Amino acid sequence: MKVTDYFKHANGKLLVSFEVLPPLKGGGMQSIFDMLDPLMEFKPPFIDVTYHREEYLYKETPEGFYEKTAIRKRPGTVGICASIIHRYGVDAVPHLICGGFTKSETEDVLIDLNFLNIKNVLALRGDARKFEVKFSPEPGGNASALELVQQINSMNQGIYLDSNIVNGNKSDFCVGIAGYPEKHYEAPNMELDLQFTKAKVDAGAHYIVTQMFFDNQRYFEYIDKCNKIGINVPIVPGIKPLTKKAQLTSIPRQFYINMPSDLVNAVMKCKNDDEVKLVGIEWCIAQSKELKEKGAPCLHYYTMGDVKTISKIVEAVY
Ligand code: FAD
């Protein structure tokens, strides 16, 4: 079923979903099952699986030169989605990124998803490769999430890259996109960022999942701003708990978001990361309860592999 159909048929009940990362290359599917098995008691209608771009590694050759090799450290998104659907009978949402793909390769992935009867995708641009300053698309690839949404929407209309294909099979993808309550870091200001988000919705995106935030007010204001410019699709809050003191600086650096003073002060008082985890869980429960009360369609938890912590939070909220 499509993600948006779950929202439509929820009858006011708050849904829960989880996001998981493929294991590092060499790992097995069991690690994903070990993580998801305990979370299934919360009956998530869908599970997101992230996509990871290749990284460049420099390997020394026997001659003493350095050879640049591209390695995808966490492959397997599509296979993991198929496996999740098969094992649990829930839907899986593969993330699709522009980076590292030509449009033709993206089309092939979409065809695979269509044949697997996977009805949902989260369309993203992706970030620059590690050690690269700026995102650059593959030659012949999509340069932005907007272009990716347009490509998916074309396939939904039976239009393929090869214009010789007539009466092409129409896919029926439900398309999610990313939204940033605290602005995407590259956007010159919030207004323009929102206009770009609206362009993705106008191009056929059906719902938005937000970047994580720790201050609910940012999410509520974001919804207001979206609604004001005519973005009326469901906006799913993406959240995660703080679990380590070091995250006070690593999360803002990586995700370009602010930490509310009350949370920062509480974490600063902690003597160790066990105490930080307790603060983080308590904060995330309070955040979740308020989001529930104010009518969020679904709470989307970034699990980051920490199933015990996420379970404690969801147990307290649902
Ligand atoms: P876009 O919508 O293309 O926007 C990127 C930037 O370009 C923004 O600043 C936007 O304002 C600007 N922009 C858009 N259109 C235009 C235009 N026409 N002209 C000028 N500027 C424009 N990354 C991964 O690699 N794998 C994942 O699985 C993954 N999952 C994610 C899930 C969620 C819920 C979120 C919020 C992010 C995820 N990301 C993931 C990170 C994401 O790829 C990065 O945040 C990336 O930098 C931007 O992606 P986007 O889809 O928002 O890009």
* CA–CA dist 143, 141 (Å, integer): 6
The tally of CA atoms less than 13 A away on the side-chain side of residue 189 is: 3
Determine the structural domain holding residue 33 and report its residue range.
Answer: 3-317
Q: How many residues does the chain have?
A: 318
> What is the average pLDDT value for the chain, to the nearest integer?
96
The pLDDT score that the predictor gives to residue 59 is 80
Question: In 3D, which of 189, 194, 218, 221 has the Cα closest to residue 208?
Answer: 194
- The number of distinct structural domains making up the chain is 1
148 Cα nearest atom in ligand 1: 3
CA–centroid distance, 57 to ligand 1, in Å, is 24
200 Cα nearest atom in ligand 1: 2
Q: Could you tell me the maximum CA-CA distance found in the chain, to the nearest angstrom?
A: 66
Is pTM beyond 0.85? Reply is: yes
The pLDDT score that the predictor gives to residue 70 is 80
What does the pLDDT average to over 94-115? 97
CATH of the domain at 124: 3.20.20.220
pLDDT digits (tens, 9 = 90+) for 29-84: 999 999 999 999 999 999 999 999 988 878 888 888 888 888 888 999 999 999 99
Question: In 3D, which of 286, 222, 308, 250 has the Cα closest to residue 39?
Answer: 308
What does the pLDDT average to over 269-282? 98
The pLDDT score that the predictor gives to residue 241 is 97
**12 pLDDT more than 90:** no
Q: What's the pLDDT band for 112 if we cut at 50, 70, 90? A: very high
187 Cα nearest atom in ligand 1: 9
The pLDDT score that the predictor gives to residue 71 is 82
Pocket test residue of 125, 142, 182 for ligand 1, highest count of atoms within 8 A of CB: 125
Q: Name the amino acid, one letter, at 99.
A: G
pLDDT digits (tens, 9 = 90+) for 195-219: 999 999 999 999 999 999 999 999 9
**296 pLDDT more than 90:** yes
